[in-house]
Amino acid sequence: MICFEKASNFIKHSGEEDDTEFGVAMSPKKQPTVVLSNGVEMPMIGFGTWQLSGEAGKDAIKTAIRSGYRHIDTAAIYENEAMIGEALKAYNHLAAIENALQLLGTHYIDLYLLHMPPMMHDGLTIEDVWRGFERLYDLGLTRAIGVSNCSYAQMEKIRKIARIPIQNSQNECHVFFPAHDLQAYCQRHNIVLTSFATLGSTHRDQFPAFKWVEGHPSPLNNQYVRAIAEKHGKSPAQVLLRYMLDRGICVIPKAASHHRIAENIDILDFHLTADEIKKLGSLKEHIRYFTFSEFKDHPDYPFANCSSAKRSIGVIYGH
């Protein structure tokens, strides 16, 4: 028998017990439960799996979970434990983070982010995923939890149910897309903001999984960026990174060459003036490079109300 319960989840079948965590929220339709002699709650309505197998069986399990079942019955003689396990992987945040820890070779992750809502497994809401993240935090597998590429509405959904608040938001942010409103939102709710694509993600077109607008200008070549760089004796990249730090925003620039790697961190010996920050935050270009247009029709697409994303998508699809 597999049971999902609000805070402590367990697997018990055929005389064996093993604690596990699934991060699946209780169904909006509150399930009646009974309390076992050791205090553990068991949902009274269970889902039987005898004679379920293969892809049809996986589909039935997923449908059951989406329908509100939080008690799944199985036994060794059914010979379907592996199939059930595969179906439940979509709801098992613990398995995902343990895989990441194994690949990274560490015992915990400092910051674990819910990345791009349309990529959530079928049947999960953003609230479901966040509750799963909170369990990972409780277990000490991550020191902080946050989001990436989420809209205000999606962050508000999380805030309304969160026991542990959003601690970091990672989003595209650069001089052509300064995200002042997002920064203000994060400051109001004590969320640290991290910028990606700070330098314009020059080689983004080398990632073929996404569609890109050809010919978008690079902030590295902007005349004001270059003039400020010359004034301070720095490179344009260093000015773009310093601009974020002076706004209190974290940066995560990618580089491959030794020179660029060293240059990108050599930005601690100067500051931009208030006028320079204001100028860089009010350039005429308004560009979102990362539109994730492949998900534009998904109900959880986060940029449906972003005018910069709409413009880029229009170019990509010839609208």
**Binding site per annotation, positions:** 115
78 an active-site residue?
A: yes
Three-state SS string over the chain comes to CEECCCCCCEEEECCEEEECCCCCCCCCCCCCEEECCCCCEEECCCEECCCCCHHHHHHHHHHHHHHCCCEEECCHHHCCHHHHHHHHHHHCHHHHHHHHHHHHCCCCECCEEEECHHHCCCCCCHHHHHHHHHHHHHCCCECCEEEECCCHHHHHHHHHHCCCCCCEEEEECECCECCHHHHHHHHHCCCEEEEECCCCCCCHHHCCCCCCCCCCCCHHHCHHHHHHHHHHCCCHHHHHHHHHHHCCCEECCCCCCHHHHHHHHCCCCCCCCHHHHHHHCCCCCCCCCCCCHHHCCCCCCCCCCCHHHHHHHHHHHCC
End-to-end alpha carbon distance in the chain: 53
Beta bridge partners of 113: 146
Q: Select which of 78, 91, 112, 243 is catalytic.
A: 78
From the annotation, which residues make up the binding site for substrate? 115
- Residues serving a catalytic function are 78
